[in-house]
Amino acid sequence: MDTIFVDHKLDIGGGQHLFLDGNSKITAGNGTFAEPVANAFSLPSGKDGACPYATPACLASCYTLGLKKHAPALAEKFSHNERVMREILAEENDEQWLASLEVIAQYAQSNCSAGFRWHVSGDVFSLDYADWIAQVCKAAPDVPFWIYTRSFPYLEPLVGIPNLVVNLSADRDNWIQALEASMAHGWLRLCYMSTQGEVPPLLPSDVIFPDYSLRGRDLDDPTTSPWWQGLTQIQRRSVCPPDMFGQSEKLRCGPCKKCMVNP
């Protein structure tokens, strides 16, 4: 079954609105694989979007950079979110700032009790934006939030929030910086994207995301993949199941939760 994408428009007052999004993989239990519920907030990806610390490796493998061509309506919603957020943060309009976070928090409380993800596309682009994300999480304390980020200089406002799991996105280009950031903040989880088959030393709580060429989805038995065969048993337990084996009702973020609980 193909991944299904959804979006939801939220009025934040003052004539402004933001879009939430979601898809079958990240539903996390708020809906089903076939009928996902919007449970994410996203921005455009890439250096020209909202990924200030994108690496060559992640740009080469980014699954959202082609949205303008393959899903232009969704790509425009992500771009709209970035424009509105930058305006809200730049204008220092306390009323709009508070309204925007309260509306998303209320939506998450009512519709995303099983989990809300920051950024299917895009990343944390400033300290002010990181603080806004933190305040949304605090305003919806019963919702488990999770995030992947390469924006290590903007981590401070996000760390230590009980209902926000911070995952550091790492690859061969930023591995040392990711490891240093993890250590500096009490061993945050590393989510490593392997693009050439490499797997650095990882803790059991860390996660491995195999790039497209390493996955076994097209094989009758994905475990016969040469890359999989070369992994240790401990490494295999760290691999993202939906990415490696294909997505389904059982193979999605909700049932897995590898990235959704603190290590």
Question: 2 pLDDT exceeds 90?
Answer: no
Which stretches of 54-196 are DSSP H helices? 56-61, 67-70, 72-91, 94-111, 127-139, 175-184
The parent domain of residue 34 ranges over: 5-256
- Residue 168: inside a domain, yes or no? yes
Angle at 6 between CA 120 and CA 43, to 5 degrees: 30
Q: What percent of the chain clears pLDDT 70, i.e. is strictly above it?
A: 99
**213-233 average pLDDT score:** 92
- Residue 262: inside a domain, yes or no? no
Tokens 């500096």, residue?
184
pLDDT tier at 94, thresholds 50, 70, 90: confident
Q: Output DSSP code: residue 114.
A: T
- Residue 43: inside a domain, yes or no? yes
Whole-number pLDDT of residue 226: 94
- Residue 263: inside a domain, yes or no? no
Nearest to 204 by CA among 243, 238, 242: 238
- Rounded to two decimals, the pTM is 0.95
**68-75 average pLDDT score:** 84
Whole-number pLDDT of residue 218: 82
Whole-number pLDDT of residue 3: 82
- Residue 113: inside a domain, yes or no? yes
Separation between Cα atoms, residue 216 and residue 167, nearest integer Å: 24
Whole-number pLDDT of residue 239: 97
Q: Output DSSP code: residue 191.
A: E
* Structural domain total, the chain: 1
Whole-number pLDDT of residue 91: 81
- Residue 117: inside a domain, yes or no? yes
Question: 43 pLDDT exceeds 70?
Answer: yes
- Residues 240 and 211: beta-carbon distance below 8 Å: no
Whole-number pLDDT of residue 1: 57
Q: Crossing angle, helix 127-139 and helix 94-111, to 10 degrees?
A: 50
Q: Crossing angle, helix 72-91 and helix 127-139, to 10 degrees?
A: 100
Sorted by sequence, the CB contacts under 8 Å of residue 263 that are 6+ apart come out as: 187, 188, 189, 203, 205, 206
Question: 93 pLDDT exceeds 80?
Answer: no
